[in-house]
Amino acid sequence: MKIIKYLFAILFVLSGSGGLIKGSIIAGALLIILGILILPPISVELSQKIKFWNYRGFRYGMYTIFFLLIGATMKELPKRKKENPTEVSKISFSTAPKSEVKSKVKLVNFQKEEIQIDNSDFWNKFDPIVKERVYKMIKEKDCAGLQEEFNVTADNLDRLQASGRSGERNLDLMNFLEEQMKNLGCH
């Protein structure tokens, strides 16, 4: 039992130190005090000096009070911003990529011409590089590139299915590529 008390004491002291470093001074200090109180030598010393410390219910009640105080005084964690998946990005093509962000529109310069790329849930399954590469091939009417992307995606789908995993996103991309190749008159 002593080993467990030592482990908890060390955990609380380290957590309290982290809290102090992060700016939760009161919560950090309370965690350190709680860790010190749990240490067996300190607990034995307290039981000799404070009569109530000998009662398990009193000790656990004190631990509970410390936990409640720690919880009440902790700083809130910063909340993450969620990006809107339905935003529309504007991509233009030139020789050197240059990114600018204006409100909710992302501009990537490649040349003077621009195409609209949607950020629907479909594209959330893929790396943004895949999306940009595919749309660049569509823009340039690169049938060979689109066919190569289709073939690579099909190979990946086969590997995933052979290993027993789902290749749903690959199938979705293949359908999208096939539709785009038909629209471009590639076959």
Cβ contacts of 133 within 8 Å, gap of 6 or more: 149
80 domain residue, yes or no:
no
Whether pTM > 0.85 for this model: the answer is: no
Helix axes 143-162, 168-184, angle to 10 degrees: 160
Q: CA nearest 108: which of 80, 84, 133, 83?
A: 133
Same domain for 28 and 103, yes or no, is no
Same domain for 111 and 141, yes or no, is yes
Same domain for 103 and 40, yes or no, is no
Q: pLDDT tens for residues 162-180?
A: 888 888 888 888 888 898 8
Q: How many independent structural domains does the chain possess?
A: 2
Whether residue 96 is predicted with pLDDT greater than 60 in this model: the reply is no
Phi, psi of 51, deg, nearest 5: -60, -40
Same domain for 64 and 138, yes or no, is no
Same domain for 95 and 179, yes or no, is yes
Q: Compute the mean pLDDT over every residue in the chain, rounded to the nearest whole number.
A: 77
Same domain for 68 and 106, yes or no, is no
Same domain for 55 and 139, yes or no, is no
Range of the domain at 48: 2-73
Same domain for 65 and 129, yes or no, is no
Q: CA nearest 115: which of 141, 85, 90, 138?
A: 90
Is the CB of residue 72 less than 8 Å from the CB of residue 102?
A: no
Same domain for 95 and 69, yes or no, is no
Same domain for 99 and 167, yes or no, is yes
79 domain residue, yes or no:
no
Whether residue 15 is predicted with pLDDT greater than 60 in this model: the reply is yes
135 domain residue, yes or no:
yes
Cα–Cα distances (Å) from 35 to 16, 46, 68, in that order, read: 8, 14, 15
26 domain residue, yes or no:
yes
Cα–Cα distances (Å) from 152 to 62, 100, 122, 130, in that order, read: 63, 31, 18, 12
Same domain for 93 and 173, yes or no, is yes
**Residue 19 or residue 84, greater confidence:** 19
